[in-house]
Chain A
Amino acid sequence: MEAEFPALVSARLGDRVAAVEVFPGTLGRVRFRADAALDVFRSMRDDLAFDHLSMIGGIDWVDHREVFYVLWSDARRAYVILSTDLPAENPHIESATCIWPAANWHERETWEMVDIHFDHHPDLRHLLMPDGYVFHPLLRSFKLHEPEELEVKTRNV
């Protein structure tokens, strides 16, 4: 099944997918176009049977951001990774909560940690950090060992 998977993905998703890279231990790392996110998600769930969203994470590459999704399929008994690049200026992508309700908290966490905005998320507010916290700690520009600055910049709500 692993060998046919890239062909299957491109047959279903066409030019919405840029490439299917090899990722050992999974069916592959699918690089998709961010503006077609919702189509890709829906197709992944309905056509390719990836019914289970395991996690969402964001990576700050300084010049751009990456957001990745790890999906599991009970039918295929395998993982697949979806990944896309977003610009460093105002990064945003469609929320996956309407496809997989599990995305809710993962997107809240990714938003507050890596500052990626999820459009049409039902409840995008702080999860692990206090309300009103203005930093995004997992950005590379957020340096450790500067606690005194935190006091000043947290605003009251």
Chain B
Amino acid sequence: MSEMWINMGPQHPMTHGLWNLRVHVDGEMVLDVDPEMGYLHRGIEKISEDRHYNEVVTLMDRCCYVAGLAWEHLYILSAEQALGIRPPERAEWIRMMSEEFQRLGSHLMWYAAFVQDIGLMAPFLYGMRDRDLVLDLFQSYTGARMTYEYMRVGGVRNDLPNGFTDQARKVCDWLIDRFEEYDRLCLASAIFHKRCDGLGKMSRADCVAYGVTGPMLRSAGSKRDLRKDRPYSAYDRVEFDAATADGADVTARYLVRMEEMRQSVRIIRQALDWLDKNPGPVMAARVPRWLGAPYAPIGNEGYLLKRNYPKGLGLSAIEEPHGEAQAYIVNDGGEHPYRVKFRSPVFANISAAKKYLVGYRIADIPPIMGSVDVCVGECDR
């Protein structure tokens, strides 16, 4: 009777969210795993069918609670394609900057949680401290620290406040020095290497076959980054490199995310320079009022006066902090989207759990799952 199924979750420190990993073990060895999802399923796709286009933005913040702005960006890009609306250029740059700050916020949160999983307590406090600076910036221009509701079909809700770019540059300067500190704390630690090196291996071919994307795929030697391969917003106008590593293990994923944060700072600095030089509108001039945008300039159409509006389909894909996210929106000419379908990168990454967990030991599961960076909100939607 040494073989048995045990539950890690839904209340387990490893899960970082509400999900259950059923593990089939023989002593310490993992023979099989079966992730159980759905604890956080709120039916966001269903609720979206009952809302005006701009009202769905509210749900996006709840989709991924550490990367709300990235998900807003994803949804808005798809909705704009389905509705045939183009945002002004400045809004595109603000969105790009927001997404990169969100990547910093998400990766800092990941860093804090991940290093705590492997037994280093001090970096947790450093990570959370520095993430707060990013949240302070969000608060200054969106008014919220977690549920922003900032982007709109046709632009963003409001422009950046005075002095924002200077403050943002200070945060960038602070963070870029901290990354060195993080690396010294982790990479110089014997505990870190003992708990991370060579664990959770997933080859590039397996990643592609199982739909694994984002830092996990890039840690296996791939250079695939949608910001490079299929640029959206203003990503084709900034210089940066796709972070990549070769180890395909937990340490490699750590290195990829750390490099990604440095690249994010690089993108943000270019975006801030551009935003300083190019004032302008942040909302498209003619946006139909029925979109339900309380702060949008009101066009000629009144509420419920929607007539003969074009139908359309929208597909957007962004490089979200966890990987490649997609939104597919069907606009059948009605006031609400007919169907909204999201692809969560975490969903695909967890679905491949068998590939990177089987064959290791129970004590290896927390660092491996930590390196996957699970956000259950977007996985379950």
Contact = CB atoms under 8 A, between A and B. Distances in A.
Interface stretch (A8-16, A34-42, A87-95, A98-106): A98-106
Contacts of A137: 43, 46
Contacts of A102: 209-211, 348, 351-352
A124 interface: no
Contacts, number: 84
A57 B328 contact: yes
Contacts of A152: none
B173 interface: no
Nearest to A123: B34
A100 B209 contact: yes
Interface in B317-355: 317, 324, 326, 328, 330, 338-339, 341, 343, 347-348, 351-352
Interface in B207-230: 208-211, 222, 224, 229-230
B contacts with A: majority SS: mixed
Contacts of A70: 315, 326, 328, 343
B351 A59 contact: no
B315 A144 contact: no
Contacts of B81: 24-25
A55 B315 CA distance: 11
B358 interface: no
B43 A105 contact: no
Interface in A3-27: 23-26
Interface size on A, as a range, is: 35 or more
Interface in A48-62: 51-55, 57, 59-60
A55 B230 contact: no
A138 B351 contact: no
A77 B41 contact: no
B313 interface: yes
Interface residues of B, number: 35
B348 A127 contact: no
A52 B348 CA distance: 12
B47 interface: yes
B37 interface: yes
B45 interface: yes
Contacts of A25: 81, 230, 315-316
Contacts of B43: 137
A77 B209 contact: no
A51 B208 contact: yes
B166 interface: no
B27 to A, nearest CB: 26
B50 interface: yes
Contacts of A100: 209, 211
30 contacts: A23-B313, A24-B81, A29-B313, A52-B208, A54-B211, A55-B328, A55-B343, A57-B341, A59-B338, A59-B339, A70-B328, A70-B343, A74-B222, A77-B230, A102-B211, A105-B347, A105-B351, A113-B45, A126-B38, A127-B37, A127-B38, A128-B380, A128-B381, A129-B38, A137-B43, A138-B45, A138-B46, A138-B339, A144-B46, A144-B47
Nearest to B84: A24
B347 A101 contact: no
B340 to A, nearest CB: 9
Nearest to A57: B341
B50 A144 contact: yes
A55 B351 contact: no
A129 B46 CA distance: 14
Contacts of A60: 339
A55 B38 contact: no
A60 B209 CA distance: 28
Contacts of B211: 52-54, 100-102
